């Protein structure tokens, strides 16, 4: 049963690839970077997938911009957070060329706008409506905007995967800063939401899927630091009804070495991203491609 | 100098979601476009009442013509919480689907792009949409992950991207929830259009809109999308620390109209809030009518259904005297 679960999902992904080489969020729709990245990770190493993965990578590379960032879709101008996914994919594919290094440089250059001097001053003067520590440098969805948990987590995974190739002090500094941002924005229940743990003195609850992503970003941190959020992640996985949250939690917990039970037998969804993440999170899936180690100061 | 006065003087870039620094309202609002705007207030004491009939009456009072149109219903789906009143009630959305079919629409779809949560379909399921709205999955589009096309001239951006489902609609219907909002004061029909912006391009939350400015973004969305109609779910709204952590407040009404500025202004008055003090309505006064004398109130009167919604301290000055 377990292998059939995975095979059905990989088969769906194989069948839903667009002619241009990418995947849409749903079959037959425009190709987007995000579902394409997850589909590529899920299919990595699958029998007879090499050519389709090459086509996908070729399409994604055509979306890189001159500043090193990557566009989320062929119709959208300007690079975004998917640049982190591009670096992760490049690492998985063993690509380390000047264009990928330009992407890494872009990630190292981009900082959440709430870290600006003005915002830090406003924070010190208690002028912000949120109890937010703006002293750390994280990553935004788009350059020029504030940092949030999800893009910061994806970027941490990417930078940790390639850190060994660079050995730059700046790289380690930004990784530490990004981790600091994640720790500073934990919700009072121990997990993470999109990045606002408190508004107007009211604590906001964490989200299961974002808690999973933050745990991916924090791989390599000490067991003591992560004991509480990992325990929460285990509990959330049992409680949440969201298939997307379940898939991300399975990936995160497995990357942290947890031996969780097989996923329940469910029909394959028409949602490409969800299906790819479910395949990645399967015990025989490619979740290990998102596994990283920490960096040392 | 008060804290609020200091903020703009200090020249600090407002980052709503992080800072959302509140600006002073302009001293006097423009008169708005020519003519008056009809807004219908219908009593609906509970979701088990015949909402379709109420909406049919509202459509008649507002002169709504949906014949042959491709209609997109945009409910407000924000957060997983089936036990409270964050989201537009599924009964209201189901009734709106039936309403537009009866009015002869060529197509009726439902679309939403939540600002924080990524599992839109499951969020809708949690809000009982799959159970209550007939054939829900076949008519629903996750606007966060739809195909997109560029639009020029939105908030002075060279290109801004919107879902093709939105761009292809002849009529976009804001099925909003009557709620207070901890950044904007209130969230009603106009702000509900934040969910038209695709997360796949702008993220979760759609932080770009915060940098443009919440009031400015609300106005831009309503300037760009003009073929619109509103049905506000005020059967049970939310007061206090909305739009998520507030408490339920029954106003027992549906509020409908073609002029979304007038609809929101009417909702404010029902909630005991002065619309002329709400920043985004001040900016929107050139798009529609805020002034009470320019709004033709049909159905119930505001006074007969007025239900003061509790306001957090930050917005206590919005109270309608």
Question: For the segment B142-153, what is each residue's pLDDT rounded down to a tens digit?
Answer: 999 999 999 999
ipTM: 0.95
Instruction: Find the CB nearest A75 among B150, B202, B205.
Output: B150
Give the integer Cα–Cα distance in Å for B230 and B239: 20
pLDDT at A263: 84
- Domains along chain A with CATH numbers: 2-290 (1.50.10.20)
For an interface test with A, the pick among B7, B8, B12, B128 (most A C-beta atoms closer than 10 Å) comes out as B12
Mean pLDDT for all residues in chain A: 94
CA A258 to chain centre: 19
User: Block means of pLDDT (10 residues each) for chain B, length 321 residues?
Assistant: 32 38 58 93 98 98 98 95 88 98 98 96 94 97 98 94 98 98 94 98 96 96 98 98 94 98 98 97 96 97 98 94 88
Instruction: Find the CB nearest B122 among A34, A116, A244.
Output: A244
Instruction: Collect all residues of chain A within an 8 Å Cβ-Cβ radius of residue B13.
Output: 113, 116, 118-119
- pLDDT tier, A100 (very low <50, low <70, confident <90, very high otherwise): very high
Q: Do A25 and B145 touch (CB under 8 A)?
A: yes
Instruction: Collect all residues of chain A within an 8 Å Cβ-Cβ radius of residue B244.
Output: 204
For an interface test with A, the pick among B1, B17, B154, B242 (most A C-beta atoms closer than 10 Å) comes out as B17
Average pLDDT over residues A118-147: 89
- Give the start-to-end residue ranges of the domains of chain B: 38-318
pTM: 0.94
For B30, B271, B285, B290, B316, the CA distances from B321, given in Å and listed in that order, are: 21, 12, 20, 16, 11
pLDDT in tens, A21-69: 999 999 999 999 999 999 999 999 999 999 999 999 999 999 999 999 9
pLDDT at B27: 59
Nearest CA in chain B to A134: B18
Nearest CA in chain B to A205: B245
Q: Do A26 and B145 touch (CB under 8 A)?
A: yes
Q: Do B119 and A145 touch (CB under 8 A)?
A: no
Average pLDDT over residues A209-216: 98
DSSP A131-193: -----S---BSSTTS-B-HHHHHHHHHHHHHHHHHH--HHHHHHHHHHHHHHHHT--TTSS--
Rg, chain A, Cα only: 19
Statement: B38-318 belongs to CATH 1.10.287: no
Closest CA to B179 of B20, B316, B17, B309: B309
Q: Do A119 and B142 touch (CB under 8 A)?
A: no
Do strands B171-181 and B185-187 pair parallel, antiparallel, or not at all (unpaired)?
antiparallel
């Amino acid at each position: 049963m377990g292998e059939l679960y995975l095979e059905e999902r990989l088969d769906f992904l194989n069948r839903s690839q667009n002619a241009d080489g990418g995947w849409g969020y749903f079959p037959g729709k425009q190709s987007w970077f995000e579902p394409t990245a997850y589909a590529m990770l899920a299919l990595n190493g699958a029998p007879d997938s090499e050519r389709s993965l090459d086509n996908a990578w070729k399409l994604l590379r055509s979306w890189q911009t001159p500043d090193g960032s990557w566009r989320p879709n062929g119709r959208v101008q300007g690079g975004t957070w998917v640049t982190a996914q591009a670096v992760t994919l490049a690492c998985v594919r063993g690509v380390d060329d000047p264009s990928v290094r330009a992407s890494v440089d872009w990630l190292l250059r981009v900082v959440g706008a709430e870290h600006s001097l003005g915002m830090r001053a406003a924070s010190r003067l208690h002028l912000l409506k949120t109890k937010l520590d703006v002293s750390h440098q994280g990553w935004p969805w788009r350059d020029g905007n504030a940092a949030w948990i999800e893009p910061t987590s994806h970027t941490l995974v990417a930078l940790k995967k390639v850190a060994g190739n660079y050995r730059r002090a700046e790289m380690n500094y930004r990784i530490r800063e990004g981790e600091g941002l994640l720790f500073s924005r934990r919700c009072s229940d121990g997990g993470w939401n999109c990045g606002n743990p408190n508004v107007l003195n009211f604590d906001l609850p964490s989200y299961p899927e974002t808690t999973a992503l933050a745990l991916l970003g924090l791989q390599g941190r000490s067991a003591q630091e992560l004991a509480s959020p990992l325990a929460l992640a285990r509990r959330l996985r049992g409680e949440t009804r969201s298939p997307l949250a379940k898939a991300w939690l399975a990936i995160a917990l497995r990357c942290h070495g947890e031996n969780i039970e097989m996923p329940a037998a469910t029909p394959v969804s028409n949602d490409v991203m969800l299906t790819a993440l479910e395949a990645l999170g399967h015990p025989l899936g490619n979740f290990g491609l998102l596994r990283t180690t920490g960096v040392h100061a | 100098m008060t804290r609020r006065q200091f903020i703009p003087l200090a020249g600090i870039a407002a980052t709503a979601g992080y800072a959302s620094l509140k600006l002073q309202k302009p001293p006097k609002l423009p008169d708005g476009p020519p003519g008056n705007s009809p807004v219908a207030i219908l009593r609906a004491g509970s979701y088990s009442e015949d909402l379709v009939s109420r909406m049919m009456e509202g459509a008649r009072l507002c002169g709504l013509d949906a014949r042959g149109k491709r209609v997109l219903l945009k409910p407000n789906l924000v957060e997983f919480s089936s036990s409270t009143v964050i989201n537009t009630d599924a009964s209201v959305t189901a009734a709106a689907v039936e309403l537009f079919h009866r009015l002869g629409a060529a197509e009726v779809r439902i679309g939403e792009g939540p600002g924080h949560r990524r599992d839109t379909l499951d969020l809708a399921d949690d809000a009982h949409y799959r159970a209550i709205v007939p054939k829900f999955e076949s008519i629903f589009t996750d606007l966060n992950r739809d195909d997109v096309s560029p639009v020029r001239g939105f908030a002075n951006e060279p290109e801004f991207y919107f879902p093709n489902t939105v761009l292809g609609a002849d009529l976009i219907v804001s099925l909003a929830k009557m709620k207070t909002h901890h950044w904007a004061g209130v969230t009603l029909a106009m702000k509900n259009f934040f969910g038209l912006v695709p997360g796949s391009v702008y993220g979760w939350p759609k932080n770009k809109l915060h940098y443009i400015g919440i009031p400015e973004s609300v106005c831009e969305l309503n300037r760009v999308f003009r073929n619109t109609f509103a049905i506000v779910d005020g059967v049970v709204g939310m007061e206090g620390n909305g739009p998520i952590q507030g408490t339920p407040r029954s106003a027992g009404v549906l509020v409908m109209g073609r002029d979304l500025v007038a609809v929101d202004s009417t909702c404010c008055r029902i909630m005991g809030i002065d619309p002329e003090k709400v920043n985004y309505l001040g900016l929107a006064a050139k798009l529609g009518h805020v002034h009470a004398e320019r709004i033709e109130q049909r159905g119930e009167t505001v006074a007969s259904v007025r239900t003061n919604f509790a306001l957090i301290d930050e917005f206590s000055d919005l109270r309608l005297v």
